[in-house]
Amino acid sequence: MYFNTDTNRRPSFLILPAISSSPETGLEFGGAAILSFYSDTINRNTRVSNIFGYATITTKGQAKLSLNTSYWTSQNNWHYTESISYYNYPFDFYGIGNNTKLSKIDPVFERRYKFSIGGEKLFGDRFYLGYVAGAVKYFYKYQPDPTATINSDPGVQDKHGGDIIYIGPSFTYDTRDNNTYTTRGIIINGYYNLMQGIYFTNPYKGGFLNIEYSQFFLLAKPLVLGIDIQEQSLTGAQSAFYLMPEMGNDEMMRGYYQGRYRDRNLLAGQTELRYRISPRFGLAAFMGTGEVFHSDFSFPELKPNYGGGVRYFFDIQKGLSFRLDYGVGQKPAGEPRETGVYIALGQSF
């Protein structure tokens, strides 16, 4: 798999180790694995399916566990997704809004359980309709310090967590030539989660809307330009902080710590230029902008990001790769410039 081109559409399996260290977690170690396969090895139009698992544990008793599945039936008539995860892990909380301060950093210990499923049926040649459903449970360790950001920020609601189930419709319009390494085509995906708190202690009612548009242009045989725009909104009267859209991750607004900026709405866009040096290696350069906001979008509040990275295609036939990216964000007044390093499987979008 690492050195040969597979033309027989056989399954492939990859294991990657993981190790890191921080004061909050101590030594963290574990790994990731991905199994990729075709549900139909005869029909060449059937897209590649995969099962991806990730597990780490720290010397301070924290853990991350997740299992994700993306399954395409023969000729892509159905697309099913599944995700189950358990996180017992700290993160840095800065408050609510698009201009939080580094001085407000507050280590928060989160325990999260999450399960989700989805399915979409192909209608015509390009349009899918389906559903999403799932359940989540968030728990945050009580912090008696009244000056802690999670206690003092008036925008923080449900600071001790909650239990929520959700269900809703989804749609996808997809003209991509490939779902793992796209060189031309469009994908528009959207879903709306109707959310309801579980038990009498959590009367939460609300919703979450996500819409994403991506388009790809083949400028030359090894050169692809991609454009990606995403909008997320938390709906309803309540604003549980753990349900709010967050800026920054390994896919959008690279360079910003995930959750440094969060609010009821997020709008972000990016463009990425991808150059395939050889069947095994590629380069990428990206730039974008985005912001979170409570109710009113403001152009002057947009934050920039830019950066680049390298790609290694470990399965050429399926277009599967892992990438190393370095992202750069804004430099807030009196603070270091925001940056991030990302190692991930697959393309950013």
Instruction: With 0.85 as the threshold, say if the pTM is over it.
Output: yes
CATH number at residue 57: 2.40.160.50
> And the tokens for 193?
């989660």
Q: Does 191 fall in a domain?
A: yes
Q: How many domains does the chain contain in total?
A: 1
Q: Does 130 fall in a domain?
A: yes
Q: Does 89 fall in a domain?
A: yes
The confidence score (pLDDT) of residue 236 equals: 95
**Rounded (5°) CA angle 169-175-180:** 90
The confidence score (pLDDT) of residue 8 equals: 66
Distance CA 103, CA 92 (A): 11
Looking only at Cα atoms, what is the longest distance across the chain?
Answer: 63
Burial class for 35, CB neighbours closer than 10 Å (0-12, 13-18, 19+): middle
> In the chain, which residue ranges form alpha helices assigned H by DSSP?
149-152
The confidence score (pLDDT) of residue 28 equals: 94
Residue 285's domain spans which residues?
Answer: 12-345
Distance CA 97, CA 233 (A): 14
Taking a C-beta distance cutoff of 8 angstroms, is the pair 285, 303 a contact? no
Q: Which of 267, 253, 338 is nearest to 299 (CA)?
A: 267
Q: Does 6 fall in a domain?
A: no
One digit per residue, the tens of pLDDT, for the chain of length 349 reads 444 555 568 899 989 898 888 888 889 999 999 999 999 999 889 999 999 999 999 999 999 999 999 999 999 999 999 999 999 999 999 999 999 999 999 999 999 999 999 999 999 999 999 999 999 999 998 888 888 999 999 999 999 999 999 999 999 999 999 999 999 999 999 999 999 998 776 789 999 999 999 999 999 999 999 999 999 999 999 999 999 999 999 999 999 999 999 999 999 999 999 999 999 999 999 999 999 999 999 999 999 999 999 999 999 989 999 999 999 999 999 999 999 999 888 999 9
> And the tokens for 67?
């299992």
